[in-house]
Structure 1
Amino acid sequence: MHIDLSDKRVIVTGASRGIGLGIASAFAAEGCKLAVGARNADTIASIGAELGKAAGDVIARHLDVASDESVSDFVGEVVDRWGGVDVLVNNAGQGQSGTLDDLTPEKLLNHANILQMGHFRMAQAVVPHMRKQRWGRIIDINAVAGSIIPSDGIPSVINRASCIALSKLLGQALAPDNILVNSLNMGWINTGQWDRHYREMPPGVSREEFDEMVLKVVPMGRFGTPEDVAGAALFLASPLANFITGVEINVSGGLGGQITYYPKLKREFSEAMKKRRLESLTAEPT
């Protein structure tokens, strides 16, 4: 069956890079009317111009999902121009580390305002328009760590868990209106965050050694790509997924319960690398 999404009006948040850009590019290639938003206005304008070469029409604007006014203005412009919204991809937001010892309630709430409240604001803004047409698809980009809980990264874990719960709740609550809501839970997707994690390693660790350690918990033995995520998003927006709602799908190469072991693996690897470096510095010259 050929997937034809060319008549759909699609919003993708956090579309300036990484997973969001990969998803937006995939919908553009389908010829959709595409609205992309991100906090960097100049960057998203440039990306919108590029996406417009394939998409049926493009709106590319500044969007801060932590702001009621910004969300309302963005969705309002989409509806004014195209008459409604068919698909929302809630992608804006990023991971944040933190422990009971170094977090403050304010930091935790700030992260929640972007993630769980960002998902809520966007859904609240588009659902009335989807209800009018009795058709809609909401695809929430979340993380495996919000479903299978590791022992590290309090903000990301608890806020992603809340986002997944909201997705499941809305998937049931909005089903009578033919609005389907599902969560795509990310595993190790190869975006800029892994460059940052690598830079946190002790001196002397090669990127090959780091990647080998990270991928020990991924059965497929590789990082995922934004394109891997985009394929799942296209599926959920298509007629092939017309009877799927309120579920979570792991886009993770098989990574599941292994994620609970990863914090321990990372600590042990880091300590071993520090020990190796110390031994190399103290070794007597031959």
Structure 2
Amino acid sequence: MNLGLTDKVALITGGSKGIGFQTALDLSAEGAHVAIVARSEEHLQKAKDEIKEKTGREVLTISADVSQESECKRAVDEAVAHFGKLHILVNNAGTAAAKAFEDVDGEAWQNDLDLKLGGTIHCSRYAIPHMKEQGGGAIVNLAAVVAKTPPASSLPSSVSRSAGLALTQAMSKDLGKHNIRVNAVCIGLIRSDQIEKMWQNNRPDLTWDEFSHETGKGIPLGRIGDTQEASNVITFLVSDAASYVTGTSVNIDGGSGNAL
């Protein structure tokens, strides 16, 4: 299947590691021009080198903190200045934050909202005019399955991510007339640095597959997901193959979610 991504320009926040990195790698392999945003110059350079090694393509690295509006604008401006256009935005930046309500102070609430919700809002605001110039575009917002049915001790992330789902649907209604599609993916338990540390610290006696299946016993598919499996869905959603898909969310959770 031709995904129609050749020479498209994509900006990915949180693009130096995990799902963001894998998505950058896959979009590059499909012929897209990719800019990745993260705070760490070291992690950005490592990601850039690996993508070049695996795909032969250069990526633009932008060191920025997308919890700040001015940094979101700068990231978009740098990507457009370098490539001359912008078609795709993947709002992936975020951190794990899960505590009981009474354990989350005001600063933690604000930091989480600024990064996960504010970063998505501001990066999208500055990207959309450039997408309009190209006759359309695609935005994918990263969320989590807990955004749909928040359990206990899932704050502040579940609230930030729930707001992101509302934002996704509202944006899709406003932007459809400009041929800009906006969708979300709701992530479940996916292999990440945090999960890797849990494996190494708690069960170094197990292989990754053994740890994955043990930890994923409560998941219908019986294992932890891989970043490639998340990237596959994101890549589809930003591609021409999903040209009639907007305003929806897709669970990437091995069936663990309690809502469609």
Q: Which moved more, 1:68-77 or 1:137-146?
A: 68-77
Q: Which moved more, 1:112-121 or 1:192-201?
A: 192-201
What amino acid does structure 2 have at the position aligned with 1:47? A
Q: How far, CA to CA, are the matches of 1:108 and 1:50 in structure 2? A: 35
Tell me which residue corresponds to 2:102. Answer: 101
SS across alignment from 1:249: strand
Tell me which residue corresponds to 2:15. Answer: 15
What amino acid does structure 2 have at the position aligned with 1:80? A
Q: Taking structure 1 as reference, are residues 223 and 210 closer, same or farther at Cα in structure 2, changes over 3 Å only?
A: closer
Tell me which residue corresponds to 1:75. Answer: 76
Count of matched residue positions in the alignment of Structure 1 and Structure 2: 256
Deviations 1:120-179 (A, max 9, x none): 111011001111222110011111011122122211111111111111111111111000
What amino acid does structure 1 have at the position aligned with 2:218? V
Q: Which moved more, 1:145-154 or 1:208-217?
A: 208-217
Tell me which residue corresponds to 2:150. Answer: 149
Deviations 1:228-286 (A, max 9, x none): 0111011111111111101000011111129xxxxxxxxxxxxxxxxxxxxxxxxxxxx
SS across alignment from 2:99: coil
Q: 1:2 Cα deviation (Å)?
A: 2.4
What amino acid does structure 1 have at the position aligned with 2:229? D
Q: Taking structure 1 as reference, are residues 257 and 207 closer, same or farther at Cα in structure 2, changes over 3 Å only?
A: farther
TM-score by length of 1: 0.83
Q: How far, CA to CA, are the matches of 2:87 and 2:228 in structure 1? A: 21
Are 1:111 and 2:112 counterparts? yes
Q: How far, CA to CA, are the matches of 1:239 and 1:205 in structure 2? A: 43
CA contact (8 A) 2:188 2:256 kept: yes
CA contact (8 A) 2:9 2:88 kept: yes
Tell me which residue corresponds to 1:222. Answer: 223
CA contact (8 A) 1:34 1:56 kept: no
CA contact (8 A) 2:217 2:223 kept: no
Q: How far, CA to CA, are the matches of 1:135 and 1:211 in structure 2? A: 40
Tell me which residue corresponds to 1:31. Answer: 31
Aligned pairs for 1:222-261 within 5 A: 222-257=223-258
CA contact (8 A) 1:30 1:55 kept: no
Q: 1:73 Cα deviation (Å)?
A: 1.5
Runs of 4+, deviation exceeding 4 Å:
196-201, 204-213
Tell me which residue corresponds to 1:159. Answer: 160
Identity of aligned residues (%): 29
Q: How far, CA to CA, are the matches of 1:227 and 1:210 in structure 2? A: 18
* CA-based RMSD: 2.3
Q: Which moved more, 1:42-51 or 1:224-233?
A: 42-51
What amino acid does structure 2 have at the position aligned with 1:173? D
Q: How far, CA to CA, are the matches of 1:197 and 1:46 in structure 2? A: 23
Q: Taking structure 1 as reference, are residues 169 and 48 closer, same or farther at Cα in structure 2, changes over 3 Å only?
A: same
Q: 1:45 Cα deviation (Å)?
A: 2.3
Q: How far, CA to CA, are the matches of 1:157 and 1:248 in structure 2? A: 15
Runs of 5+ unmatched residues, structure 1: 259-286
SS across alignment from 1:138: strand
Runs of 5+ unmatched residues, structure 2: none
What amino acid does structure 2 have at the position aligned with 1:148? T
What amino acid does structure 1 have at the position aligned with 2:246? T
Are 1:139 and 2:140 counterparts? yes
Q: 1:56 Cα deviation (Å)?
A: 4.8
Q: Taking structure 1 as reference, are residues 205 and 191 closer, same or farther at Cα in structure 2, changes over 3 Å only?
A: closer
Q: Which moved more, 1:61-70 or 1:158-167?
A: 61-70
Q: Taking structure 1 as reference, are residues 29 and 211 closer, same or farther at Cα in structure 2, changes over 3 Å only?
A: closer
* CA radius of gyration, larger in: 1
CA contact (8 A) 1:31 1:55 kept: no
SS across alignment from 1:174: helix
Q: How far, CA to CA, are the matches of 1:28 and 1:119 in structure 2? A: 22
